[in-house]
Amino acid sequence: MINDKMAKALNEQINEELYSSYLYLAMSAWFESQNLPGFAAWMKVQAREEHAHALKFFEFIHECRGRVVLQAIQEPAREWKSPLAAFEAALKHEQHITGRMDKLMNLALAEKDYATAGLLQWFVKEQVEEEASADRIVQMLKMAANAPGALLMLDHQMGERK
């Protein structure tokens, strides 16, 4: 069983994950509009991954006999100043999600909900990877600044993500 307080917090996290998916899909659409199909494909894979994160919480709440309540998803931005600006926004978003996971973990421990804490442990680890991967791309885009050839090579490399 999951208590109401914890279920409410996890429901909010489902919304955050669906928003993450929506945000990365919006970034994918923007990269398409910039003729950078590799970046667009990378973001589409990321959007799918975020949707899977939402489903992990969705299924967990049901397994714990809680009630899932879906809320409206906020509209994401449509434009970014540059590929670098988009990935800086993605990194900032991931840092925000890491902060949310820390708060959820604190709540789970305060509620002595060790099952939820176990699930959250997976997400805490995942956030380390999420931040590292966004940051790596930010750094590469900084190195590619003012070199269109380097940006095109990077685009090709980004498109290889499965």
Binding residues for ligand OFO (CB under 6 A): 17, 20, 50, 53, 94, 97, 130
Of residues 23, 4, 9, the one with CA closest to residue 119: 9
Write the CB contacts of 33 (distance below 8 Å, at least 6 apart in sequence).
Answer: none
Of residues 68, 76, 82, the one with CA closest to residue 39: 82
Quick one: 49 or 111, whose CB is closer to ligand OFO?
Answer: 49
Handedness of CA 127, 129, 130, 134 (dihedral sign): positive
Quick one: 41 or 144, whose CB is closer to ligand OFO?
Answer: 41
Residue nearest to ligand OFO (CB): 20
Quick one: 97 or 137, whose CB is closer to ligand OFO?
Answer: 97
